[in-house]
Amino acid sequence: MRVHVLQHVPFESVGSIEGWLASQGATVGYTRFYESSVLPGTANLDLVIAMGGPMSVNDEASLPWLKSEKQFILEAIQRGRPVVGICLGAQLIASALGARVYPSRCKEIGWFAIEATATAADCFPLPKTLTVFHWHGETFDLPQGATKLASSVACENQAFQVGPNVIGLQFHLETTPESADSIIANCRHELIESAYVQSEAAMREIPAAAYAHINIIMADVLSYVTRPKRDNILSSFSR
């Protein structure tokens, strides 16, 4: 499996995804935009993973590589390659597909519940209710043809799916205690407590089991988008 990771800042790593990639024997390439904006071709990739970051997809004037990154994501989707976007990565998928990305009515930082909204057999089955790790201040409209997978009280569009193998997640299922510590250390200036912004102390009280639970679902998402195409054919006959 040939995987390419789009990483925007050094303190937002792939977290638990690293273990899944190792279990697949994946060959993993990175574009670390804080070091270089060189992107590979998409023809030989089996999976693209776009990670989070504090910038906006609308910052093309100050971060011109965003334009080429969106084009890369769009090309991967058009080629039928599996693509998973997390937080900023989900916003990048939405923007690449022509949807609007804009400031949310409130920031959502910390551990809050999402509610699954899609029940179709051809969509990824998120748990009906799931408490996940958030760190975002922007949101997006659904791209044309997308199915909404999840919502929350603070943010209407929390996850979406386009076709059989493209999923955008506004929240972080890959978060580990170590990766949470990293983002807190680098972004604690954003922790101005409100209804949907937890304190650092509250976030640090979260038990290891909560991380392990969401990490399993992250692995399920990756397995789902990269499942063999014959699975799609078989599932269509089973309905």
Q: Is 147 helix (H, G, I), strand (E, B) or coil?
A: strand
151 vs 229, higher pLDDT: 151
What's the CA gap between 151 and 62, in Å, rounded?
A: 31
Kindly state which CATH superfamily the domain 2-231 is placed in: Class I glutamine amidotransferase (GATase) domain (3.40.50.880)
Q: How confident is the model at residue 239 (pLDDT cuts 50, 70, 90)?
A: very low
Q: Which pLDDT belongs to residue 41?
A: 97
Q: Of residues 4, 8, 134, 172, which has the active-site annotation?
A: 172
For the cut 90, the answer to whether the pLDDT of residue 229 exceeds it is no
Burial of 98 (0-12, 13-18, 19+ CB in 10 A): exposed
Q: How confident is the model at residue 231 (pLDDT cuts 50, 70, 90)?
A: very low
* Identity of residue 199: S
Q: Using one digit for the tens of pLDDT, what is the confidence trace for 192-213?
A: 989 999 999 999 999 999 999 9
Q: Which pLDDT belongs to residue 106?
A: 93
Q: Is 131 helix (H, G, I), strand (E, B) or coil?
A: strand
- Nearest-10 crossing angle of helices 208-225, 177-187: 100
Strands 147-151 and 101-116: antiparallel
Q: Of residues 69, 108, 138, 174, which has the active-site annotation?
A: 174
Q: How confident is the model at residue 236 (pLDDT cuts 50, 70, 90)?
A: very low
Q: Is 87 labeled as catalytic in the residue annotation?
A: yes
Q: Is 174 labeled as catalytic in the residue annotation?
A: yes
Say what the pTM is: 0.94
Q: How confident is the model at residue 27 (pLDDT cuts 50, 70, 90)?
A: very high
Q: How confident is the model at residue 50 (pLDDT cuts 50, 70, 90)?
A: very high
Q: How confident is the model at residue 119 (pLDDT cuts 50, 70, 90)?
A: confident
Nearest to 143 by CA among 111, 104, 95, 103: 95
Q: Average the pLDDT over 214-229 and give the result.
A: 95
Q: Using one digit for the tens of pLDDT, what is the confidence trace for 53-84?
A: 999 999 999 999 999 999 999 999 999 999 99
Q: Which pLDDT belongs to residue 121?
A: 84
Q: Average the pLDDT over 143-169 and give the result.
A: 96
Q: Of residues 4, 12, 87, 136, which has the active-site annotation?
A: 87
Q: Is 108 labeled as catalytic in the residue annotation?
A: no
Q: Is 114 helix (H, G, I), strand (E, B) or coil?
A: strand
Q: Average the pLDDT over 129-152 and give the result.
A: 97
Q: How confident is the model at residue 235 (pLDDT cuts 50, 70, 90)?
A: very low
Strands 83-86 and 47-50: parallel
Q: Average the pLDDT over 100-106 and give the result.
A: 96
For the cut 50, the answer to whether the pLDDT of residue 144 exceeds it is yes
For the cut 60, the answer to whether the pLDDT of residue 26 exceeds it is yes
Q: Could you write out the three-class secondary structure of 13-56?
A: CCCCHHHHHHHCCCEEEEEECCCCCCCCCCCCCCEEEECCCCCC
